[in-house]
């Protein structure tokens, strides 16, 4: 009796060819497709998988789970990898892996499989998350299989194989870059993008308009937060309010994309030790990140913010590297969540071509004291106390320069 395999299937070139290869190896293959908000024609993908020979195709709508339990906590924690990447792909992987393992258990499948490259991060993310959730699961990773890698050197061989087996694919030799999309972002890599000197063509972008096509007038939004989590967005132009998390993100993606917000083109450090070039579009989350960061500075104690920023960077590494389910991530999540208990308030954002900025904010829990900081009244602040503060802080500086930078030495 053939062993069951649940294949994380995208309908794209790699996983379609992997499906055929697994069938040739004698496995009974069930395809799993996660609806995380990507613009995907699932009916076409299902038809393709069944035509290739899949036993069944299971589609799970996990958009709400992804937004509520991964994207929103990431905004609350302020996660950003290497100061630029908002982790759109990285956050989706534990969400998808959770559903993948549920299906594998339900089908009593011994194996799961995926199309992640042997040089990338996703293999680590999928597999560590899956092992955490189901320690007995076995994993077939074709891009680390000697026979598979000998047969397929890269995308050209896959395209030839697909053509031979009448597998329709969207990638072509002319535009062979790889994409990964969800409700949070779209990423682009490989092909001509592997050369960091190559400028990405304007028609590559799908979520955001080119700057030359964006409106020439500003757009204002009001974003509400409670304990660091977005709770409501008000469109100040039309007066419409969004309170459902998925609808908030969809709206911000739409308006942010209209203004060309959230594009980055970076060379990042992969967990396996390689540097890679990636292009990302993350319009809605970029707006939320900017608003949340401003409110944090408004509400948090200075030292708490600095300590929280350190933990944020560690957590961003854990997410990027695939350790969403780990003791260190559990501990850090709890610490970061604790830091957000006073991050309540409203932020007004202005959108312009290619960027957004905070122009106003309000919070009942802010540590900002207008009278104390005012240049017009003294308040309870005694300026003369600053003399001693400056003198004490200057002691070590004076001694250092006296010792090592004295002209007589």
Catalytic residue numbers read: 14, 93, 122, 178
How far is the C-alpha of 23 from the C-alpha of 29, rounded, in Å? Answer: 7
Tally of CA atoms within 13 A in the half-sphere of 218 that contains its CB: 12
CA nearest neighbour of 107 among 27, 15, 21: 27
The tokens describing 7, both together, are 């294949």
Question: Phi/psi of residue 20, each to 5°?
Answer: -65, -40
Identify the sign of the CA torsion 50, 56, 61, 65.
negative
The tokens describing 84, both together, are 């630029």
How far is the C-alpha of 101 from the C-alpha of 103, rounded, in Å? Answer: 5
How far is the C-alpha of 305 from the C-alpha of 301, rounded, in Å? Answer: 6
The tokens describing 300, both together, are 């948090």
DSSP 248-265: HHHHHHHHHHHTTTTEEE
Q: How many residues does the chain have?
A: 409
Question: Are residues 104 and 255 in contact, defined by beta-carbon separation less than 8 angstroms?
Answer: no
* Kind plus residue range of the DSSP H or E element containing 4: strand 4-8
Q: In what order do the strands lie in the sheet with 219-226?
A: 241-242, 229-235, 219-226, 345-352, 355-362
Which residue reads 């890269």 in tokens? 154
* Residue 366, helix vs strand vs coil: coil
The tokens describing 222, both together, are 């009001």
N-term to C-term CA, the chain: 86
Q: In what order do the strands lie in the sheet with 275-281?
A: 178-181, 186-189, 275-281, 263-269
Exposure letters 357-368 (e unless 16+ CB within 10 A, then b): ebeebebeebee
């Amino acid at each position: 009796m053939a062993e069951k395999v649940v294949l994380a299937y995208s309908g794209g070139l790699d996983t379609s060819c992997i499906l055929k290869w697994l069938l040739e190896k004698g496995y009974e293959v069930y395809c799993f497709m996660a609806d995380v908000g990507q613009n995907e024609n699932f009916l076409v993908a299902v038809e393709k998988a069944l035509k290739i020979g899949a036993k069944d195709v299971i589609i799970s709508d996990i958009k709400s789970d992804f937004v509520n339990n991964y994207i929103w906590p990431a905004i609350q924690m302020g996660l950003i990898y290497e100061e630029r990447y908002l982790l759109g792909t990285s956050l989706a992987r534990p969400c998808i892996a959770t559903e993948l393992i549920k299906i594998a258990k339900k089908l009593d499948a011994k194996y799961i499989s995926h199309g992640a490259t042997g040089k990338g991060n996703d293999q680590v993310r999928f597999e560590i998350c899956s092992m955490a959730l189901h320690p007995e699961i076995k994993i077939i990773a074709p891009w680390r299989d000697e026979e598979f890698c000998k047969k397929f050197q890269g995308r050209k061989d896959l395209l030839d194989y697909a053509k031979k087996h009448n597998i329709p694919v969207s990638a072509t030799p002319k535009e062979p870059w790889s994409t990964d999309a969800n409700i949070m972002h779209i990423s682009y890599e490989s092909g001509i993008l592997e050369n960091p000197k190559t400028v990405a063509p304007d028609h590559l972008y799908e979520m955001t308009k080119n700057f030359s096509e964006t409106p020439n007038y500003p757009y204002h939004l009001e974003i509400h937060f409670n304990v660091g989590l977005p709770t409501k967005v008000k469109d100040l132009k039309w007066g419409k309010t969004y309170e459902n998390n998925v609808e908030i993100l969809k709206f911000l993606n739409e308006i942010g994309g209209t203004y060309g917000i959230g594009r980055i083109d970076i060379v990042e450090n992969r967990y396996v030790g390689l540097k890679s070039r990636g292009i990302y579009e993350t319009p809605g989350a970029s707006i939320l990140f900017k608003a949340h960061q401003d409110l944090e500075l408004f509400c948090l104690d200075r030292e708490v913010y600095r300590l929280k920023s350190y933990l944020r960077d560690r957590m961003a590494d854990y997410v990027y590297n695939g350790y969403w389910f780990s003791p260190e991530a559990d501990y850090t999540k709890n610490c970061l969540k604790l830091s957000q208990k006073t991050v309540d308030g409203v932020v007004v954002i202005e959108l312009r071509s290619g960027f957004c900025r905070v122009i106003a904010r309000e919070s009942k829990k802010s540590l900002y004291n207008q009278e104390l900081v005012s240049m017009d009244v003294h308040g309870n602040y005694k300026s003369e106390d600053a003399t001693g503060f400056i003198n004490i802080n200057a002691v070590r500086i004076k001694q250092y320069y006296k010792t090592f930078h004295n002209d007589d030495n």
